[in-house]
Structure 1
Amino acid sequence: MKMLKWLQFEFLFTASIVCANICRLNGMVSCGDRHKLIYENAMLLVELVKLSTGSSLVTCLLEGPSGSGKTALAATVGIDSGFPFVKFVSAETMIGLDEQTKCARIVKVFEDASKYSFSIVILDDLERLLECAAVGPQFSELISQTLLDLLKQRPPEGMKLLVIGTTSKVSFMRSVGVCSAFSFTYHVPALKTDEVKEVLEQLNVFTEDDVHAAAEALNDMPIKKLYMLLEMAAQGERGGAAEAIPAGREKIKIAHFYDCLQDIVH
């Protein structure tokens, strides 16, 4: 019986790691002190869940511009926590389902989490989970109420739960009362010039002479958009450098990089 429980733990933890890694396909690079502090604060919450005798439920909201790395950060916290249960809840996993079925799926995740001594539930892209409309204050009140109830519901005795939410529309979340359901909120910003330079130096896709110029052009750039831009530029002017640049055999030409940047901006 003990061996069976251990195998179940190993399978679930491995599946959680695979899921979390899918949500951070580009891995994690150092983005400077601001992002490092957010990660450290989130990991302190992991420790709070592990060690506290009074906090069986801890909730944290990561908010910031679209593409700023909130999902990847949440995934990294889930991986580094070592918790046996780490589960993502996202709109992508519930395409085509009606409101009631979506609510039932979300409730099931929290019920599954309550069976483990330590667990993390990541509510990714909350505005999409709530079916937030682009025009007007339209959203699913049923899903919203379900989430609010779950965010207040403490796990069974002896069980600990960390809930991490992510959103790019913090003002809307505040207006519908979702923000107040989270105990901690951290802003995940776009990258400033010095932070972009740190990322580019780690990726090593520009010559030393071009790194600073590239970073200067990318101030206030969300890291997801940065990766997309670099992937475009890595194709080369004629598409022949797609493998050579990531492998380090060639570097992105700064003129071609500027052309790609113009395409994204416009």
Structure 2
Amino acid sequence: MGLSFGTKAPPTALTGEVEVAGLGKKYGVIQVLKDVNLSMAEGEVVSIIGPSGAGKSTFLRCLNYLETPSEGTIAIGGAKVVAGGARLPDKASLDHLRRVTGMVFQSFNLFPHLTVMENITLPQRKVLGSSKEQAEEVANKLLKRVGLPDKASAYPARLSGGQQQRIAIARALALSPKVMLFDEPTSALDPEIGLEVLAVMRDLADEGMTMLVVTHEMHFARDVSDRIMVMGNGGVLEIGPSEQVMSAPQNERTRQFLKAVLDR
């Protein structure tokens, strides 16, 4: 499982896995997201970059209602919800939305009192109704996939940060999501350890997983993503092919941001 950043072939299935229209989020009178729009094809990888406070993580968390958006429409993998009404979307719609989106957080969020195997099998048994044997079979396959087949009986505290994040990816994949959401998955890791996680993400991209990634890893954004979405002040500054955004950004705020991060 090496890590080599090359040019990723464009997605071939144009079925529109993700459609976000007019998404907004307010905390009281403070508008933290405004009129965010995004359309993604199945198998596409989009990286979200931008300065701190731009609304990147809030946008990602709104997609599966970890944060409740104030307005807009979200459609992912056949699940569609409309925000902004007097009531939340019905439970069935929210369950469907969360079922088709897997999420990996910055802080791993593994259960410390459960083994790796238990962390991966518990969601399958609770959400999918899988038997213990079925769940363990899936878990073992996923542990091999993320390069940790010998860690099934380990507890999270005995693993490195990179290993814990790879387990978190395996846990999310165990529910067979249509779309994977990654919220700064390497920001809590040392750069060398973060490469292990990026290698798994690169493999997922090559296998055709639809992925939306909030990241500060500019090499990943440029070389693995199909497109880059740049956010600032709660909105979209620009979105376009990764190489074009990185080498010839159209927005002045994007140019300032990239100069700051690339000149470090």
What TM-score results when the alignment is normalised by the length of structure 2? 0.42
Q: Which has the higher strand share?
A: 2
> Which fold has the larger relative contact order, with Cα–Cα distance below 8 Å and residues 6 or more apart in sequence?
2
Question: Could you say which structure has the larger radius of gyration?
Answer: 1
